[in-house]
Structure 1
Amino acid sequence: MPKQTFYNLSEEKKNLIDKVLKDEFSSKPFKDCNVKNIVDRLSIARGSFYQYFDDLKDSYFYILDKETKDVHFLFMSVLRQNNNDVLKALDVFGDEVCDLIFEDGEYNLYKFRYLYWNSELEDGWKAKKKEYYAIFHNDKSSIDHELIYFMKAIVHGLIERNFKEEWSRDVFIEKYNLHINWLKRGVENENI
C-alpha cells in the first residue's frame, strides 16, 4: 500500500495518481502494465513513483483495494445477514456479486484480475491482506470452511467464464442460478 509520502500529497495530486493508476490497470492485464506508462502520464520522475509505492505491484494492490470490493468479504457479509444459512445466502449473493463485477467503472479491473491473476499476485495480495485471511481462517462460527471453498470455486469459475465469454448481466445471473440450483439439489438426477 502507498507510503506516507503519497498520503502527504495534496488531494488533487492523489486523485490524479489514482486516476492514472486505475486507467493503467483497467486497460490491460497487470503483466502488460509498467511504471514508465504511469510516470509519463503523470509527468513525474520515475524516482517519485518509488517515493509513493514500493513497486508496480504495490500500486496495483492499492488500486484494487481502493476501487474494488472483495467477493469473499461480500459473501461472508451476505452469509451473516442470512443467519449463516448458506442456501439463502447463495440466493442473494448472485445479484450482489453481479452488481459488483458489472459496475461500469470497475468492470475491467475485475476482468483483468480474474483472467490474469497468478500465484505471484496471489502471494503478494495475501501478504498485504493478512487481516482478511486471518479473519476468514480464524472464524469460529459453525460455517463449514470446506463448503465455503467449494462454493468459492464455483463462483470464481463463473466470474472467470463471464469475462472470457463476455456474458451480459442476464446471462451471468442465468448461469449462476443454474449452478447454484445444481449445488442445492445435487447433480445426481441431472441429464448430462
Structure 2
Amino acid sequence: MPKPTFFRLAETKRKRLIKAAYDEFSRASFQDASISNIIKEAGIPRGSFYQYFEDKSDIFFYLLDRTRSSTEELYMQAMTRHDGDLFGMMADFFDTSVEKLLKGPHREFYENVFLFMDFHNAAHFSSMPKKAPDPHPKKVFLDYTLEHIDRSKLRVKSDEDVAMLFRQVMWIFMQSIGYYYTRRRNGENVTTTALKARMAKMLNWLQYGVVISEEEVHD
C-alpha cells in the first residue's frame, strides 16, 4: 500500500500518478509493465516514485484495492436495495459490476487482471509479499452476506451452507467475466447484453433448478 508521503501529494499529482499506473497496467501484463513508463507519464523522477511506493507490485496492489473498495460498495448497496434477498441482490450486483468492469474507464486494466491473473505475479515479485492484499475480496463479501442475508427465503440456513451457496453464486460471476474476456481476446463479438443474459440464465438455474417437475412433463 502507498507510503504516507503519497497521501500528502497534491490531489492533481496523486491523480496523475494513479492514471499513469492504470494506463501502464492496461497496456501490458504485470510482468511486462514498467515503472519507467509510469514515471514518464506521471512526470515524476524515479526517486520520487519510491517515496510513494515500495515497488511495482505495491502500486499494482493499490489499484486492485481501489477495485475491491468500489465493488464492496456496489455489493452492499445491492443487498440493501433487495432487503437481503440473495438472488435478487446478486442479479443486481452482476449487472452493475459488469457495467463497471467491462464498460468503465479502467476496463483494459480489469481485462489484464482477469486474463493474466497478474495478482499472482505481483505477489511473487513483491518486496513485501506478506502485506499484499487478497485480490479476491470474497471473505468481506461472505461475512457481509452471512450477516445481512434473509435466510427465510432459502432452504439453506446454517452459515456453512450459506457460504457454500455464496461460493457457487460468485463462481458464476467470475467464470462469466473470464468467459467474456477470453472470447473477446479470441476475436469473438460477445456483447455485454449477451453476457448479462448468460449470467442471469445460470443464476436462474441455481435458484430454481434445471429438472422439470412431473406435472410439467405431462403438460
Instruction: Report the TM range for the smaller structure's normalisation.
Output: 0.7 to 0.9
Over alpha carbons, which structure has the higher Rg? 2
Q: Does 1:159 align with 2:177?
A: yes
Alpha-carbon distance between aligned partners in 2 of 1:103 and 1:181, rounded to the nearest angstrom: 24
2:89 is the alignment partner of 1:89: yes
Q: Percent identity?
A: 26
Cα separation, 2, equivalents of 1:165 and 1:69: 28
Letter in 2 for 1:126: D
After the TM superposition, list the runs of 4 or more consecutive aligned residues in structure 1 that deviate by more than 6 angstroms: none
Deviations 1:111-143 (A, max 9, x none): 11222225455782229x7xx846744765275
Report the more deviating stretch, 101-110 or 115-124. 115-124
The 2-side partners of 1:138 and 1:70 are apart by 15
* SS of residue matched to 2:88: helix
Once the two structures are overlaid, the 10-residue window that deviates more, 179-188 or 38-47, is 38-47
Post-superposition CA distance 1:54-104 (Å, at most 9, x none): 211111122233467554553344234312211222332332122221333
- Give the alignment of 1:6-21 within 5 angstroms: 6-21=6-21
Q: Which runs of 5+ in 2 are unaligned?
A: 124-129, 150-161, 185-189, 213-219
Q: Which residue of the partner structure matches residue 126 of structure 1?
A: 134
Q: 1:149 & 1:157 partners in 2: Cα distance?
A: 12
Could you state the TM-score of these two structures normalised by the residue count of structure 2?
Answer: 0.71
TM-score, reference length from structure 1: 0.80
CA distance in 2, matches of 1:150, 1:156: 10
The 5-angstrom pairing of residues 43-82 of structure 1 reads 43-66=43-66, 70-71=70-71, 74-82=74-82
Look up the match of 2:25: 25
- Quick check: 1:141 aligned with 2:164? no
Distance, in Å, in 2 between the alignment partners of 1:159 and 1:76 is 20
Q: Is the 8 A contact 1:126 1:133 kept in 2?
A: no
Aligned AA (1:165)? R
CA apart distance, 1:178: 1.6
